Structure 1
């Protein structure tokens, strides 16, 4: 069994840059780590169904206030350290917002 795309070698790692990578819409990655909630929202076009996106939610950052997950994602991991880390599994192609 081969590793998920993005883990088998440096040439296929997704180095997320929201301003550049927003043009990719090929749903080819199994996992993405986003540096912020804002970037996590933009990962959707490149993440496969059943793929995981992980990102930190800072307790001090007002941009996280009112966090609403998309209806096509399910929370699969939530842990608090200095900040809260969230992992969401993409379960479909819909993109509606729901209350957290």
Structure 2
């Protein structure tokens, strides 16, 4: 009985190691450049303030409320935003371009 157990356990471990499944690679959509007019408004926006933005990657004529400003690990100044029914991020790059990250559900 012991010899069967010593054979079965290593075999089960070997088979378990071979049956690992890997999660599919997650790809992120590239950030979109925010128009100059919208970028100027975002730059001046403080937490708690709301502004109407014309053309944005999240839609046209959309109310945007600033939730929080922070500095990202890459050194960009970023702004967490509340859109009508979702949240989004916008970050200002070193060359003063504002980039819109894909919006996400609350």
TM-score, normalized by the shorter chain, greater than 0.5: no
TM-score, scaled relative to structure 1: 0.24
Higher helix share: 2
> Which one has a bigger Cα radius of gyration?
2
Higher strand share: 2
TM-score, scaled relative to structure 2: 0.24
Question: Which structure has more RCO (C-alpha within 8 Å, separation ≥ 6)?
Answer: 1
